[in-house]
């Protein structure tokens, strides 16, 4: 059974770091606005009760006549299909039962996720819907609801949860206590009025956290000027990157042979750092995240990196890995089919997943296996809303077997790096150096498998079979056959019906919420399938569908399972961008007050990979092909998808709080080296600007203005009253306004309410 179903308590388990911060954990409900210009008030679903009690108005599905029943049924047997009634919602024609989730709690506090099977609008009372719920635990725990007693029932829709009403089971013995403040919610006599209003800043803050690496005053001002939709369009044509790529030349394999033995001289060590290490690519990425104007492209590219995984640890070439990054950047706003082709021929991917060594005499299945499992269709057949398609016996249906992998493996044979530089398309080859810049090519076309291949056969599938090469007597014919086979195979995968829901759900998880409703996934998948002009795989349409969906936008998100734990990089950059990230404040080194060099222009150098690494995410070096965390990771003790929680443990939780403590209390992160040091890891350092928060504390000694401004700036006005009270009590022991401000900042940033992006 579902033992715990609330991100608040999940954070208590995974983010506990001591008594001082533990007092801050509270409810995670958020309040947001749906559009930057004008919106309808965000709807919160209301379950209808009897007129004089909080008992649900409910009827057995078999007895329902399609209208509102005059009275409720006293109790139901477990596993019964029950119709409950819901109002204060408005469903478009294409939104159905898969937009809703239903939860129950028994008198012992055990929680269950119920199966929602249908929703039907009442004919004469169109503002009321009948929701069919099966009284059986639909979670992976498969626990049974109690045979007797009462349960508290609630539903969620678009990230908002309803009131809870009582529902009787069996003899209804063992009454359950109502929620504090619960009142009857009888059926309204007319449709609730949805009032238009001007949007507040709350949803702009939420949007900035979703679509960028963090809110900033300048970005907020731009969104106020042009609105969310126009800002997205503006980002689609924004030049990139803001910070130039590092772009060091390619070097041969073997850093010690090329540069010399590390540690023998400054010049040797600089050669290692610049040409072979991940240092420059990492600091470039963090600088782009902190200061780049191409924020949306950077977020999409970073999400694609976590789908199309390559690790810098396997590509010991700064320039080679940069080319992989450039492929992600180039295709972030392009078409997914183009990304598939470029990534397939990427020498970095070829090295990482062994396609570069696969030939017809010794085929390697690593790339085709991961292309199917992780990059495009997944292990099991899906419905278009991302739910599992099941066979007649209720079993999952595999998308492929080993025989099919063997068939696909034959297609991806023969390609290698273009190290000889003989072809015009391989103009970046350097004699003696591995060419990780140009796409892979067929240096020996005869290495490609020339036999027939059997691919996916689904309705409308293009190229379900590829015949054997009929005229492969010359290298030219062999090359044409191999390239034609590759393109046909990528088309066969691209048009598979799984691709849209599979990719769509992954993108939702990276931007908005870890456990989206099937309806949300379905809407995003529909945009992937057709951008409105008949084009499939349009990333711009996909991104808009993810970020503008009503489950992403809206004035309130109160479902306890909604949201996502900020991954380490996002947690760090969200915090830093909010408070004017800059170079380190001057510090005393060996008795001398030392400031960052003037060349830093008071900006961070982006050397913060150590901070993300100790919290579980070493930039550009995911631990496995499943990325830094698996998209299928379920938070222990729940049935909630929470991929980022795979990185949460005692050590990383402690380090997250240490990091924000360093920035909150002023010293930041800085390690000034001497002029003779070969690699200034942190020549500028990083800190934040405390001026504004200190002024808030100075102007209002009670601390109220400080707390409310932090609430607005960091949590879009959703900080719980309990959390406010405990911060106030903690900071008011201080006489110094500066110390009050810094302590309040740390307590807010380290709280579970902030660490969960909602």
- Least confident interval from 30-44, 54-68, 333-347, 739-753: 30-44
Do residues 91 and 171 share a domain? yes
Do residues 108 and 164 share a domain? yes
Q: What is the pLDDT of residue 648?
A: 96
Q: Is 175 a member of any domain?
A: yes
Best CA proximity match to 333, nearest among 405, 237, 219, 404: 237
User: Residue 40: is its pLDDT beyond 50?
Assistant: no
Q: String of b and e for 459-471 (b: at least 16 CB within 10 Å)? A: eebebeebeebee
Q: What is the mean pLDDT of residues 636-654?
A: 94
Q: What is the DSSP string of 694-742?
A: HHHHHH-TTSHHHHHHHHHHHHTT---HHHHHHHHHHHTT---HHHHHH
* Nearby residues of 297 by Cβ (< 8 Å), 6 or more positions away: 235, 238, 240, 329, 332, 333
User: Residue 21: is its pLDDT beyond 50?
Assistant: no
The whole-angstrom separation of Cα 98 and Cα 118 is 8
User: Residue 20: is its pLDDT beyond 50?
Assistant: no
Q: Is 38 a member of any domain?
A: no
User: Residue 2: is its pLDDT beyond 50?
Assistant: no
223 C-beta neighbours (distance < 10 Å), count: 21
Q: Is 480 a member of any domain?
A: no
Name the burial class of residue 644, with classes exposed (0-12), middle (13-18) and buried (19+) by CB atoms within 10 angstroms of its CB. buried
Q: What is the pLDDT of residue 668?
A: 76
Q: Which of 154, 188, 222 marks a domain boundary? A: 188
Question: Which tens digits make up the pLDDT trace of 301-317?
Answer: 999 999 999 999 999 99
Q: Which of 135, 154, 188 marks a domain boundary? A: 188
Best CA proximity match to 367, nearest among 324, 416, 409: 409
User: Residue 682: is its pLDDT beyond 70?
Assistant: yes
345 C-beta neighbours (distance < 10 Å), count: 18
Do residues 529 and 608 share a domain? no
Do residues 529 and 626 share a domain? no
Do residues 726 and 605 share a domain? yes
Question: Which tens digits make up the pLDDT trace of 200-234?
Answer: 688 999 999 999 999 999 999 999 999 999 999 99
Q: Is 539 a member of any domain?
A: yes
383 C-beta neighbours (distance < 10 Å), count: 17
Half-sphere exposure of 589 (CA within 13 A, CB side): 12
Do residues 655 and 703 share a domain? yes
Residue with tokens 């992600």: 328
Q: What is the mean pLDDT of residues 584-608?
A: 84
Q: Which of 549, 583, 616 marks a domain boundary? A: 549
Q: Is 12 a member of any domain?
A: no
Q: What is the mean pLDDT of residues 613-631?
A: 97
User: Residue 388: is its pLDDT beyond 80?
Assistant: yes
Q: Is 63 a member of any domain?
A: yes
Mean pLDDT across the chain, nearest whole number?
90
Report residue 627 as tokens: 């990325």
Do residues 689 and 720 share a domain? yes
Q: Are 567 and 628 in contact (CB under 8 A)?
A: yes
Do residues 707 and 625 share a domain? yes
Q: Is 643 a member of any domain?
A: yes
The percent of residues above 70 in pLDDT, for the chain, comes to 90
User: Domain total for the chain?
Assistant: 3
Do residues 640 and 593 share a domain? yes
Question: Which tens digits make up the pLDDT trace of 532-568?
Answer: 999 999 999 999 999 999 999 976 799 999 999 999 9
Q: What is the pLDDT of residue 677?
A: 60
Question: Which tens digits make up the pLDDT trace of 167-206?
Answer: 999 876 678 999 999 999 999 999 877 655 545 688 999 9
CA torsion through residues 193, 198, 200, 203, sign: positive
Q: What is the pLDDT of residue 673?
A: 56
User: Residue 86: is its pLDDT beyond 90?
Assistant: yes
Q: What is the pLDDT of residue 267?
A: 87
* Range of 20-24, 470-474, 632-636 with top mean pLDDT: 632-636
Question: Which tens digits make up the pLDDT trace of 323-346?
Answer: 999 999 999 999 999 999 999 999
Helix runs in 364-470, H state only: 366-370, 402-411
Question: Which tens digits make up the pLDDT trace of 436-459?
Answer: 999 999 989 999 999 999 999 999
- Least confident interval from 59-63, 266-270, 349-353, 576-580: 266-270
CATH of the domain at 130: 2.60.40.10
Do residues 610 and 683 share a domain? yes
Helix then strand then coil, in percent of the chain rounded to 5, is 40, 15, 45
134 C-beta neighbours (distance < 10 Å), count: 17
Q: What's the DSSP call for residue 646? A: G
Question: Which tens digits make up the pLDDT trace of 513-537?
Answer: 999 999 999 999 999 999 999 999 9
Q: Is 522 a member of any domain?
A: yes
Give the start-end residues of each E strand in 462-574: 465-466, 556-557, 564-565
Do residues 627 and 712 share a domain? yes
pTM: 0.92
Question: Which tens digits make up the pLDDT trace of 709-743?
Answer: 999 999 998 899 999 999 999 998 888 999 999 99
* Nearby residues of 380 by Cβ (< 8 Å), 6 or more positions away: 388, 389, 396, 397, 398, 399
Three-state SS for 516-530 is CCHHHHHHHHHHHHC
Is residue 36 very low, low, confident or very high in pLDDT (cuts 50, 70, 90)? very low
User: Residue 29: is its pLDDT beyond 50?
Assistant: no
Q: What is the mean pLDDT of residues 77-106?
A: 94
Do residues 505 and 588 share a domain? no
User: Residue 96: is its pLDDT beyond 70?
Assistant: yes
Domain of residue 180 covers: 43-188
């Amino acid at each position: 059974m579902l033992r715990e179903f609330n991100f608040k308590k999940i954070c208590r388990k995974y983010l506990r770091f001591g008594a001082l911060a533990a007092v801050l954990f509270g409810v995670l409900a958020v309040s947001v606005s749906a559009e930057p210009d004008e919106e309808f008030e965000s709807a919160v679903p209301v379950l209808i009760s009897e007129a004089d009690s909080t008992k649900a108005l409910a009827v057995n599905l078999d007895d329902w006549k399609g209208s509102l029943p005059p009275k409720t049924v006293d109790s139901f047997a477990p596993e019964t299909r029950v119709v409950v009634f819901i109002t204060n919602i408005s469903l478009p024609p294409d939104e159905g039962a898969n937009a809703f989730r239903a939860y129950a709690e028994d008198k012992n506090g055990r929680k269950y996720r119920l199966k929602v099977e249908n929703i039907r609008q009442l004919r004469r009372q169109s503002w009321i819907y009948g929701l069919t719920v099966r009284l059986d635990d639909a979670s992976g725990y498969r626990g049974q609801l109690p045979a007797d007693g009462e349960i508290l029932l609630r539903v969620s829709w678009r990230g908002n949860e309803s009131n809870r009403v009582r529902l009787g089971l069996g003899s209804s013995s063992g009454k359950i206590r109502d929620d504090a403040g619960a009142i009857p919610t009888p059926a309204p006599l007319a449709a609730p009025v949805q009032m238009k209003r001007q949007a507040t800043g709350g949803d702009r803050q939420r949007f900035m956290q979703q679509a960028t690496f963090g809110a900033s005053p300048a970005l907020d001002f731009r969104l106020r000027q042009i609105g969310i939709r126009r800002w997205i369009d503006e980002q689609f044509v924004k030049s990139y990157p803001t910070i130039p790529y590092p772009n060091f030349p390619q070097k041969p394999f073997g850093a010690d042979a090329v540069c010399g033995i590390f540690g023998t001289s400054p010049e040797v060590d600089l050669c290692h750092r610049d040409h072979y290490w991940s240092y420059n690519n990492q600091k470039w990425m963090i600088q782009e995240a902190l200061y780049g104007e191409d924020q949306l492209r950077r977020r999409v590219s970073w999400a694609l990196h976590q789908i199309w995984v390559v690790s810098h640890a396997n590509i010991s070439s700064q320039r080679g890995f940069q080319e992989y990054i450039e492929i992600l950047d180039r295709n972030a706003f392009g078409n997914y089919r183009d990304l598939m082709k470029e990534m397939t021929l990427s020498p970095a991917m070829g090295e990482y997943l062994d396609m570069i060594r696969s030939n017809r005499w010794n085929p390697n299945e690593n790339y085709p296996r991961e292309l199917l499992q992780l990059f495009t269709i997944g292990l099991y057949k899906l419905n278009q809303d991302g739910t599992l398609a099941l066979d007649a016996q209720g079993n999952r249906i595999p998308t492929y077997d080993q025989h099919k992998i063997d068939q696909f493996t034959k297609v991806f044979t023969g390609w290698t790096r273009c190290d000889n530089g003989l072809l015009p398309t391989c103009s970046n080859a350097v004699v003696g150096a591995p060419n990780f810049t140009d796409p892979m090519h067929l240096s020996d076309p005869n290495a490609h498998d020339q036999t027939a291949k059997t691919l996916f056969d689904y309705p409308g599938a293009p190229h379900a079979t590829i015949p054997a090469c009929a005229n492969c007597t010359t290298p030219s014919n062999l090359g044409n056959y191999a390239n034609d086979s590759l393109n046909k195979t990528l088309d066969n995968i691209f048009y598979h019906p799984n691709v849209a829901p599979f990719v769509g759900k992954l993108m939702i998880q990276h931007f908005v919420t870890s456990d989206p409703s099937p309806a949300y996934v379905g809407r995003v998948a529909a945009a992937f399938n057709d951008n409105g002009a008949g084009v499939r795989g349009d990333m711009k349409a996909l991104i808009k569908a993810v970020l503008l969906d009503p489950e992403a936008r809206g004035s309130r998100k109160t479902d306890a399972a909604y949201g996502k734990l900020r991954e380490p990089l996002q947690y760090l950059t969200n915090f830093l961008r909010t408070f004017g990230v800059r170079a380190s404040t001057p510090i005393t080194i060996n008795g001398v007050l030392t400031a960052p060099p003037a060349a830093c222009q008071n900006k961070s150098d982006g050397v913060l990979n150590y901070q993300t690494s100790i919290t579980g995410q070493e930039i550009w070096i995911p631990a496995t092909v499943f990325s830094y965390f698996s998209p299928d990771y379920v938070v222990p003790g729940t049935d909630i998808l929470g991929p980022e929680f795979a990185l949460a443990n005692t050590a990383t939780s402690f380090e997250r709080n240490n990091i924000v403590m360093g920035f909150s209390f002023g010293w930041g992160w800085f390690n000034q080296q001497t002029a003779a040091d070969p690699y200034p890891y942190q020549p500028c350092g990083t800190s934040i600007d405390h001026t504004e928060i200190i002024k808030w504390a100075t102007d209002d000694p009670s601390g109220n203005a400080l707390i409310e401004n932090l609430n607005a700036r960091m949590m879009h006005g959703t900080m719980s009253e309990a959390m406010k009270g405990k911060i106030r009590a903690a900071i008011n022991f201080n006489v110094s306004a500066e110390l009050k401000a810094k302590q309040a900042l740390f307590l807010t940033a380290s709280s579970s309410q902030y660490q969960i992006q909602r």
